[in-house]
Structure 1
Amino acid sequence: MRKTETLASWIEQSNNIVFFGGAGTSTESGIPDFRSAAGLYQTEQHSPYPPEVMLSRSFFVKMPEIFFDFYRGKMLHPDAKPNGCHRLLAKLEAQGKLKAVVTQNIDGLHQMAGSKEVLELHGSVHRNYCMGCRRFFELEKVMASKHLVPRCPYCQGIIKPDVVLYEEALDQHVLISSMDRIAHADLLIIGGTSLTVNPAAELVSYFRGSRSVLLNLDPTPYDSKAGLIINDKIGDVMEEVGQLLRI
């Protein structure tokens, strides 16, 4: 039996599926990941500041102009569309099989594909708030700003993306909800993540079921624990699985 057939069979037999995903989930949608050979952290070499530094809270506060120049140029992909992975997950949720998507991504592609129960560990580029009056703004406001550092039209405060930067804590409600969903899943599908960024990567340790699947191009620290490993493009894999499930 092919691995995709095994995955399709496991999905058919499950009724409480949780998907835990990272940047690799969106690479086939044209959004680069971070840590692969072609990832943002490997290819972004022209700046005197490493991406990890520019994406930190302290750097954002001290040098907002450089932060937003990098953020707009490298982190925003408004034309990206969901791929086969996003689409299949949304269909499985509509069937009642998938109970939650836990994602490290900030691109909003799961929601664009139709998923409703999405737990965004690192926030979303589609939510932005004024650091002064706390009003919220859509991504379009940041994109259309005439100034490099977007400002609130009401109080002139800086509009900060509602994303978790380095040195910032994860939202505790989202974190606890993610733990609970994973702990009660009967099938955990892990996709497109190196499982090296904590505390997010530690969430998979809460899984108590007997079936876990790892979809990733490269090896991860979880490989020895996964019941099924598929080292291939996650969008293509899920597209094939959807065809096998006829959904």
Structure 2
Amino acid sequence: MDVSELRQIVAQSSNIVFFGGAGVSTESHIPDFRSETGLFRPGGHTTGYPPERVLSGSFFRTHPEGFFEFYRSKMLYPDARPGKAHLALAELERQGRLQAVITQNIDGLHQQAGSRHVLELHGSVHRNFCLDCGTFCDLSAVIESESIIPRCRQCGGVIKPDVVLYEESLDLELLYRARDFVRSADMLIVGGTSLTVNPAAGLVAEYRGDKLILINRTPTPFDSRAQYLIRDSIGQVLEALVANKDAKDGEA
């Protein structure tokens, strides 16, 4: 697809919603899960357990040391910075065209880029809480902990990341909010996601419009539903939209 056509569609839209996954952050050097270089590939980890097992609620409860060893080494990227896609989406929101970012990512890069309306379906590594007293703390409590299992500074209880682990349910109120955004959107941009993880991926099926833009390097189950299918870097595509807008503003 010619990106110039996509620019015209964006220019006519004022209620855009973006739905994205791990591919949005790979350009920030955070690995995804299911690609050829992803974390779930054979050899992508050395725990002796499947990643889905290590990142499950039951493994957290029964093997907290193993969970946090994997979590710290494979899931935390405190030095990562927003990429082109994050910055472009923040700019589209600033322009008043983008109403919400719905993300499956837990890295907080959308907020770092400047996006304000972000729905984090799977939580965030930047939020953590004590299982005993409920005290909330930031990422530093996990990273700077002297013990493998981070402990609450108030009561000594185990700190749990506020992320949705396997076997755990999504926040239904948040999921319904995301569904409402998708249903009301005049344009839905989907990018950087294989659309294989439910119920989050099922949100795409809730879209009722005729401007479904799907940007992903590999096929997804929703390719046939997309009005516009782009096999390219999501960062480059979204950056091109914003660059075009800025160029026009500079010529005015």
> Could you say whether these structures have the same fold, taking a TM-score greater than 0.5 normalized by the shorter chain as the test?
yes
Unaligned runs of 5+ in 1: none
Query: What is the correspondence of 1:105-144 to structure 2 with a 5 Å cutoff?
Result: 105-144=105-144
Paired letter, 1:159: I
In the alignment, structure 1 residue 16 sits paired with structure 2 residue 15: yes
How big is the shift at 1:47? Answer: 2.1
> 1:218 & 1:175 partners in 2: Cα distance?
26
Matched-pair contact (CA < 8 Å) for 1:44–1:51: no
In the alignment, structure 1 residue 100 sits paired with structure 2 residue 96: no
> 2:145 & 2:5 partners in 1: Cα distance?
49
In the alignment, structure 1 residue 185 sits paired with structure 2 residue 185: yes
Q: In the alignment, what sits opposite 2:203?
A: 203
> 1:46 & 1:127 partners in 2: Cα distance?
26
> 2:5 & 2:81 partners in 1: Cα distance?
28
Taking only aligned residues, the RMSD between alpha carbons, in angstroms, comes to 1.0
Q: In the alignment, what sits opposite 2:162?
A: 162
> 1:112 & 1:146 partners in 2: Cα distance?
27
Secondary structure of the corresponding residue to residue 166 of structure 1: coil
TM-score normalised to the size of structure 2? 0.96
How big is the shift at 1:45? Answer: 4.2
Write the deviation string for residues 158-209 of structure 1: whole angstroms up to 9, x where unpaired.
0000000000000011100000000000000000000000000000011011
In the alignment, structure 1 residue 33 sits paired with structure 2 residue 69: no
Paired letter, 2:33: F
Matched-pair contact (CA < 8 Å) for 2:47–2:70: no
- Count, aligned residues: 246
* Aligned-residue identity in percent: 56
> 1:26 & 1:185 partners in 2: Cα distance?
24
Q: In the alignment, what sits opposite 1:89?
A: 89
Paired letter, 1:9: Q
Unaligned runs of 5+ in 2: 248-252
How big is the shift at 1:5? Answer: 1.2
> 1:86 & 1:151 partners in 2: Cα distance?
32
Matched-pair contact (CA < 8 Å) for 2:39–2:45: no
Q: In the alignment, what sits opposite 1:5?
A: 4
